[in-house]
Amino acid sequence: MGDIHGAYQAMIQCLKRSGFDYQNDVLIQLGDVVDGYDEPYECVEELLKIKNLIAIRGNHDDWFESFLQTDFHPSYWNYGGKATITSYLKHADKPVICFPSASGFKTSLNSSDIPAAHRQFFQNQKLYYIDDEQRCFVHGGFNRSIPFDQQAQSIYYWDRDLWTDAITHQDHDILQQNFEKDTVFKEVFIGHSPTTNWGTDQPMTRINITNLDTGAGHSGRLTIMNISSKQYWQSDMVNTLYS
C-alpha cells in the first residue's frame, strides 16, 4: 500500500476492494501514514488491527517520530501537519489550538497525548524491507553508488533520484541494463514521489522500480497492489472523500 497521508476513508476502500484478509494476508505499507488529511489517528488504529503488518517509515512519519521523542517537530508542522495535530487533539479531548505562528503552528498537542500503541507503531517502523525473493520495499529510494546497507538513514525515506533515474534510463537499453544491475534487487517498490507529478493517478513501473504513491496526500488516489500478480485496487479520488 502506498502513502496514506491521513486518508482513512481511502484506506478502508482499498482494503475492502482488494478483499484483504486481516488475519492471513501480509500488508507492506510504504510509509507516510500521517500529514495530509485529518484522520491519521484512525489510520494507525486500523493498521494495528492487521496481524501481519510490515510498516515502512516515510519522511512525514520520521518528523512525527521526532516529535514523539522530543516534543519538537522538525518541520514546524508544515507540509500537511496541521491535519495530524487536529486528529490527535480531537482524540485526546483537548481543544484544537492550532493556528499559524512565526514557527509554523502553535498547538496544544504534546507527545504524551499520543497513545502508547501509536508511539510504538512509529518507533517500530522499518527503514526498508527485503523479502525472500529479493524484492525491496522502501519509502523513498536509495543511492545506487553506495552499498545498500551503508546508506545514511534519511536516504531511505528522502531519496527521489532512484525514481527519476529510472524514468531517465527507461528508453535507453544500455543505461537500462546498467541501472537494473546497480539496483541489486529483483524489484523495488517505493512511495514518496507522487505519480500525479507525471500526469497519472495510477501506479507507474519504470525498469524494475514500481511507484505506488498515486497522490493520496493530495487529489489523487490510494493504491494497494498484489505484488505477485501486479493486480491493484484503488480508492476514489481522495479529495472527493473529504470534500
pLDDT in tens, 177-209: 888 888 889 999 999 999 999 999 999 999 999
- The C-alpha cell of 215 is what? 497522490
Total residues found in the chain within this entry: 243
- The C-alpha cell of 53 is what? 503488518
φ, ψ at 135 (rounded to 5°) = -100, 130
AA letter at 101: S
Q: What number of other Cβ atoms are within 10 A of residue 163's Cβ?
A: 25
AA letter at 191: G
Task: Pick 19 or 179 by higher pLDDT.
Answer: 19
pLDDT in tens, 31-80: 999 999 999 999 999 999 999 999 999 999 999 999 999 888 888 788 99
Q: Which residue, among 41, 31, 32, has the nearest Cα to 8 in the 3D structure? A: 41
Determine the average pLDDT of the residues in 168-180. 80
Which domains are assigned to the chain?
Answer: 8-241 (3.60.21.10)
Q: Is the pLDDT of residue 148 over 60?
A: yes
Which residues have CB under 8 Å from 242's CB, separation 6+?
7, 9, 37, 38
Determine the average pLDDT of the residues in 16-32. 98
Note the pTM of the prediction, 2 decimals.
Answer: 0.94
Determine the average pLDDT of the residues in 3-9. 98
Percent of the chain's residues with pLDDT above 70? 95
Q: What is the pLDDT of residue 72?
A: 85
Average pLDDT over the chain reads 93
164 vs 168: CA distance, rounded Å: 6
The CA-based angle 64-68-74, given to 5 degrees, is: 50
